């Protein structure tokens, strides 16, 4: 597989997710809801690596995409002022996308996945609430929280459908990508959906820890094609002016 084919598969998936969650009024008011290419890549990683991929898997993957869209739109709401019409519509949009997720899963009657995803969504919301209400005790605790938030739903998908060997790589890479995107020249880096913040030093330490973990996991991942290993490194390279 070359990068052009890889990108085409990812964009086809994103198109299908967008079509499944499309709501004309919301789209007209809020615009297109862009999905995260990195999350799509890791969700589709088994497919990209040549694993068997059924229509049931595709529908379940679309459901995960709808959940991510719901999280993303909710995260854009200003928790200090959610009174504007646009903010209220964002909340409704997120709820709409959440409903699409359950509708998609119900169409395949995968009760085990519905249950595991529901539990994970609850865990992610609890983790976000804890980050909002309490200071994080350590960098390791922060890494664990962001790993849950960024890759929890994808991990459930991978584990449910027999792709658990991809899970650890996905978890460390998506957490690393989050920290890399948040890294800036400012002394303080905000979580994004909360008023809490972390120091630039903590972000750098988290990036260093996750980079080492990801490198070790990729070295031992003999099942993964060399091309995809390189793509993972390309996606997860910290924005520090140097490669991993």
Each domain of the chain, given as residue ranges in start order, spans 3-236
Q: Comparing C-alpha atoms, which of 115, 117, 77, 93 is closest to residue 18? A: 93
* Residue 143 pLDDT class (50, 70, 90 cuts): very high
- What is the rounded distance in angstroms from the CA atom of residue 81 to the CA atom of residue 78? 5
With contact defined as beta carbons under 8 Å apart, do 136 and 142 qualify? Answer: yes
* Residue 12 pLDDT class (50, 70, 90 cuts): very high
* Residue 164 pLDDT class (50, 70, 90 cuts): very high
User: Count of CB atoms within 10 A of residue 240's CB?
Assistant: 13
Fold of the domain built from segment(s) 3-236? Farnesyl Diphosphate Synthase (1.10.600)
The average pLDDT across 128-136 equals: 79
Mean pLDDT (the chain, rounded)? 79
> In this predicted structure, what is the pLDDT of residue 44?
97
- What is the rounded distance in angstroms from the CA atom of residue 44 to the CA atom of residue 19? 18
- What is the rounded distance in angstroms from the CA atom of residue 196 to the CA atom of residue 188? 10
> In this predicted structure, what is the pLDDT of residue 242?
46
> In this predicted structure, what is the pLDDT of residue 135?
77
* Residue 34 pLDDT class (50, 70, 90 cuts): low
Q: Residue 79: how many CA atoms within 13 Å on its side-chain side?
A: 12
């Amino acid at each position: 597989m070359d990068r052009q084919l890889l990108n085409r598969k990812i964009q086809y998936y994103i198109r299908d997710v967008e079509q499944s969650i499309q709501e004309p009024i919301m789209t007209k008011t809020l615009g297109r809801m862009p999905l995260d290419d990195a999350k799509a890549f890791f969700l589709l990683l088994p497919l990209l690596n040549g694993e068997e991929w059924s229509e049931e898997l595709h529908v379940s993957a679309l459901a995960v995409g709808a959940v991510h869209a719901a999280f993303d739109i909710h995260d854009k709401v200003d928790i200090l002022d959610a009174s504007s019409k646009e903010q209220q519509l964002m909340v409704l949009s997120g709820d709409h996308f959440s409903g699409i997720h359950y509708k998609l899963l119900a169409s395949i009657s995968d009760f085990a996945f519905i249950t595991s995803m529901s539990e994970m969504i609850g865990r992610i919301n609890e983790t976000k609430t804890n980050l909002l209400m309490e200071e994080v005790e350590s960098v390791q605790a922060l890494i664990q929280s962001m790993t849950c938030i960024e890759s929890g739903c994808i991990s459930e998908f991978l584990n449910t459908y027999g792709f658990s060997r991809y899970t650890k790589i996905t978890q460390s890479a998506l957490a690393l990508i989050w920290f890399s995107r948040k890294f800036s020249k400012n002394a303080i880096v905000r979580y994004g959906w909360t008023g809490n913040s972390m120091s630039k030093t903590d972000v750098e330490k988290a990036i260093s820890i996750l980079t080492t973990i990801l490198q070790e996991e990729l070295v031992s991942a003999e099942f993964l094609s060399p091309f995809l290993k390189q793509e993972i490194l390309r996606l997860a390279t910290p924005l520090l002016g140097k490669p991993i």
